[in-house]
Amino acid sequence: MNEVYRTIPHRPPFLFVDEVIGEEGDSLTARRVLRADEPHFAGHYPGNPIMPGVLLCEAVFQTGAILLVKREGGDLAGRTPVLTRINDARFKNIARPGDELTIVATWKEVHGPFHFLHGLITCGTRKILTIDFGLALIDEKK
C-alpha cells in the first residue's frame, strides 16, 4: 500500500487499489481484494452485493494513474492525474465481496498531455472488465 500512497493522491474511502504486484514493459498490474464491509455493498444490493461498475472502472483508472506517474519519473510534482476519456467499457462478469481482482493498465500512446491506456480486470480466469481510457497530469494550481 505504501507504493500506492507514494504514487497517487487517492485515499480511502476512494482508493480501489491495494497494491502493485508487477510491472512489465508498458503494463502495470495491481491487486484489489473486495471486502464485504465496503460501504457501497450495503446498498448495491442488499442481500446480493455486487461491486458497482463505475468503481471497477475507477480501479482501472487508479492503476493507470500509477503507471502514468511511474512513466513520468515517479513524482507527481504538483500535478494531479485526471480522467480525460472513457471508451468501449465492457462488463463481462460480476465482482462480489471476497473476490481478488487483478487489474492491468497498459499504456498505448500519448498526444500532448493526454495519455491513452487500455485496462483489464480479471478474477482468476474470469474476465470482469475491459476498457480504453485517457489520463492527463494537470497542474494543481489550475
Domains of the chain, earliest start first = 2-139 (3.10.129.10)
Annotation marks residue 44 as catalytic: yes
Active-site hit among 10, 40, 44, 111: 44
Mean confidence (pLDDT) of the chain: 95
User: Where in 5-125 does DSSP place strands (E)?
Assistant: 19-24, 27-33, 79-91, 100-111, 114-123
In this predicted structure, what is the pLDDT of residue 142?
59
- Find out whether 31 and 100 touch, Cβ atoms under 8 Å: yes
Q: What is the mean pLDDT of residues 107-111?
A: 96
Kindly report the pTM of this predicted structure.
Answer: 0.96
Single out the residue of 23, 13, 18, 9 nearest to residue 104, CA to CA.
23
7-58 pLDDT per residue, tens? 999 999 999 999 999 999 999 999 999 999 999 999 999 999 999 999 999 9
In this predicted structure, what is the pLDDT of residue 52?
98
Any idea which residue has 481482482 for its cell? 101
CA–CA dist 52, 57 (Å, integer): 9
- Find out whether 85 and 116 touch, Cβ atoms under 8 Å: yes
In this predicted structure, what is the pLDDT of residue 73?
87
